[in-house]
């Protein structure tokens, strides 16, 4: 709904507008739209996975997992996460928001210099099914240019849609732009600030061989994520799981069936 319409509704009847909360973030009241996009895109996810242009998880017969962080860079949390990853000699993949890349290019370059992988998470974190093809292209291009400017390297081709929001048109459009869409199959619900124990438990129970794990280094107060990360790493390493980058999972994954898209919960900021 356009902002002007929302403002007029609020003037007449504020209670008609959905109240935001941490669990759903800015997608509060849009869960049906999100789930409809998951269902409509299931076949496209499978087709693009077979073509190597989409990843929900890697091979289930290899004890390799990819740890990913969204919505940064954001001080002090990104730097704290980098220090913890260094202490465990773990590499991760960071999906960055262009506005924040523009604000903190030195942090982005630090991510690269420490040997981690970078991905594109749009310029302003919109709900992609609402965008035109031109608007989608601008979100991808501006962020890619910001990342390239911060690191002096080519723009990354890994892309994560905000909230996991997608449609067949969005996914095929991204592939035509040369992007590989990266989803996930394990997450910590850390955007909702559920407490350190809940974050650790969610990641532990959801992660298995081949998993792509979603956590956040930006989008709000990420002190709980920072506090949970050592316990998460200790637990997963104790299970014999090896941390690799998303590109590594893509390279070693046979073109195979992706996990169904519908159950993914909302990723909120």
The residues assigned a catalytic role are 70, 216
Tokens encoding 142: 């501006």
Q: What are the φ and ψ backbone dihedral angles of 201, each rounded to 5 degrees? A: -65, -45
Tokens encoding 224: 């709980």
Bond before 158 cis per omega within 30 degrees? no
Report how far apart, in Å, the C-alpha atoms of 266 and of each of 29, 31, 189, 190 are: 11, 8, 9, 12
Bond before 205 cis per omega within 30 degrees? no
Tokens encoding 40: 């409509």
CA 168 – CA 223 distance, rounded (Å): 36
The 3-state DSSP class for residue 242 equals strand
CA 2 – CA 253 distance, rounded (Å): 42
CA 173 – CA 236 distance, rounded (Å): 35
The 3-state DSSP class for residue 194 equals coil
Tokens encoding 10: 């609020």
Q: In sequence order, what are the residues at sequence separation of 6 or more whose Cβ sits closer than 8 angstroms to the Cβ of residue 53?
A: 175, 179, 180, 181
Task: Tell me how far the alpha carbon of residue 207 is from its chain's centroid.
Answer: 16
The 3-state DSSP class for residue 228 equals helix
């Amino acid at each position: 709904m356009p902002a002007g319409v929302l403002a007029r509704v609020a003037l007449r009847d504020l209670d008609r507008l959905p109240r935001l909360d941490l669990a759903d973030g800015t997608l509060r009241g849009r869960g049906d739209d999100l789930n409809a996009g998951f269902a409509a895109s299931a076949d496209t996810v499978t087709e693009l996975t077979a073509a190597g242009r989409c990843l929900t998880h890697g091979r289930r017969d290899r004890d390799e997992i990819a740890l990913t962080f969204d919505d940064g860079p954001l001080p002090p949390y990104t730097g704290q996460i980098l220090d913890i990853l260094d202490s465990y000699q773990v590499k991760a993949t960071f999906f960055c928001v262009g506005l924040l890349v523009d604000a903190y290019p030195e942090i982005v370059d630090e991510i690269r210099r420490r040997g981690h992988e970078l991905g594109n998470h749009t310029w302003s974190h919109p709900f992609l099914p609402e965008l035109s093809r031109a608007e989608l292209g601008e979100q991808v291009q501006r962020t890619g240019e910001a990342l390239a400017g911060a690191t002096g390297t080519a723009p990354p081709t890994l892309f994560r849609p905000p909230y996991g929001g997608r449609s067949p048109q969005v996914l095929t459009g991204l592939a035509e732009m040369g992007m590989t869409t990266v989803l996930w199959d394990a997450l910590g619900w850390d955007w909702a600030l559920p407490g350190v124990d809940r974050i650790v438990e969610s990641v532990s129970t959801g992660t298995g061989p081949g998993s792509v794990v979603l956590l956040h280094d930006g989008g709000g107060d990420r002190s709980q994520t920072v506090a949970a990360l050592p316990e998460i790493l200790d637990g997963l390493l104790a299970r014999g799981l090896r941390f690799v980058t998303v590109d590594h999972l893509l390279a070693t994954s046979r073109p195979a069936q992706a996990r169904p898209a519908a159950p993914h919960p909302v990723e909120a900021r």
